[in-house]
Amino acid sequence: MRYLPEFLDRSAQEQVLRDLREAVAQAPLFNPVMPRTGKPFSVRMTNLGPLGWFSDRAGYRYQASHPATGLPWPAIPDSILAVWNGISNYPHPPEACLVNFYGSDAKMGLHQDRDEEDLEAPVVSISLGDTALFRVGGTVRGGKTQSLKLASGDVLILEGPTRLAFHGIDRVINGTSTLLKDGGRINLTLRRVRKP
């Protein structure tokens, strides 16, 4: 795992935010639900890029269009692609950028990112807004974990042996950033889905 604190400075974060606002106007945040149970996630989501990650009662999958509008996901803006190009060491562009929005009570349970066919490529995560308490463990559920605070502008990369590490968000710490006027946190994860 590579942790790059403050990889994006304030003006770069603001540029990403402007680009995200434009994208979300076209591809609104939606509330995904868990497979089988239909229990809603506490985060709201949308996607950018040729493929988007999606969850409903039928399961987790990648799909090319927004579940509500039926339109293709907006393109991944250059401000976000630049992060992948700068640090991924991977010779192909990402196909999916999952946008997760956390309100003050949102969290994300421990999970592995394993719905991608190409597990050779890294997953690159960008955090914006309020600081989150991130938990990461090994590749076996139930093992030892450690905690890390992810602040606005921080980038985290799961690659190589950590690509399938269990990880999640225990909580968001209110009032720790002024980037988002109404508070909350945005996390972007850039992934390669198919083998090139």
- Least distance CB 141 / Fe ion (angstroms): 14
Closest to Fe ion by CB, 28 vs 109, is 109
Give the chain's radius of gyration (CA, Å): 15
Site size for ligand MD6, by CB under 6 A? 13
From the list 83, 185, 69, the residue with the least C-alpha distance to 128 is 185
Closest to ligand MD6 by CB, 41 vs 77, is 41
Work out whether 8 is an interface residue with ligand MD6 (CB under 6 A). no
User: Under a CB-based contact definition with an 8 Å cutoff, are residues 94 and 122 in contact?
Assistant: no
Closest to ligand MD6 by CB, 69 vs 139, is 139
Distance CA(96)–CA(93), nearest Å, equals 9
Among 46, 131, 152, 187, binds ligand MD6 (CB under 6 A): 187
Structure tokens at 30: 């939606």
User: Under a CB-based contact definition with an 8 Å cutoff, are residues 179 and 167 in contact?
Assistant: no
From the list 183, 188, 179, 185, the residue with the least C-alpha distance to 102 is 185
Work out whether 152 is an interface residue with ligand MD6 (CB under 6 A). no
- Least distance CB 156 / ligand MD6 (angstroms): 5
- Least distance CB 124 / Fe ion (angstroms): 11
Across 48-57, b (16+ Cβ under 10 Å) vs e yields bbbbbbbbee
Q: CA 169 → CA 53, 77, 95, 110, 118, distances in Å?
A: 18, 25, 24, 7, 24
7 binds, among ligand MD6, Fe ion, none (CB under 5 to 8 A by kind): none
169 binds, among Fe ion, ligand MD6, none (CB under 5 to 8 A by kind): ligand MD6
Among 19, 95, 113, 116, binds ligand MD6 (CB under 6 A): 113
Give contact residues for Fe ion (rule: CB under 5 A).
Answer: 113
Give contact residues for ligand MD6 (rule: CB under 6 A).
Answer: 100, 108, 113, 123, 125, 134, 150, 156, 158, 167, 169, 187, 189
